[in-house]
Amino acid sequence: MWDIVFMYLKAFLVGGAICTLAQVLINTTKMTSGRILVTFMLLGAVLQAFGVYELLINFAGAGATVPISGFGYLLAEGAINGAKNGLFSAITGGLKAASAGITAAVVFSFIMALIFKPKSKIN
């Protein structure tokens, strides 16, 4: 039982630290949310290129894979694995690895748009 509690605690702390870092960037810099999102995604990809992000995933599990940096990791991991089969597989490997998540985001967004009335944000 304590193993499960410790696993949840590690995931919460690492995921919370990533989200806290993003919130600090929002509050203290003039970076937009989109730039922070792209920065975190690229950071996940670059850290995986050096083999560091996988260590974080082995430690924290979902706490490292659920934030957007985990998506960058997934794209990089797919490209790295695809590169073993040639140039074309290196280009398409990231999308192949992330295809389930991308498809789920599109399908569930469509379903929510059917259920609720979408509105544009008024500034």
User: Token pair of 82, please?
Assistant: 């695809």
Stretches in the chain below the pLDDT threshold 70:
121, 123
How is residue 28 written in tokens?
A: 């203290």
Alpha helices in the chain (DSSP H): 2-28, 33-49, 53-60, 62-65, 68-83, 87-115
Closest CA to 66 of 14, 24, 113: 14
Position 121 in a domain: no
Residue 74 falls within a domain, yes or no? yes
Residue 23 lies in a domain: yes
pTM value is: 0.78
What is the predicted pLDDT for the residue at 123? Answer: 58
Q: What is the domain range of residue 88?
A: 2-115
Residue 99 in any domain: the answer is yes
Q: How many domains does the chain have?
A: 1
Write down the pLDDT at residue 35: 93
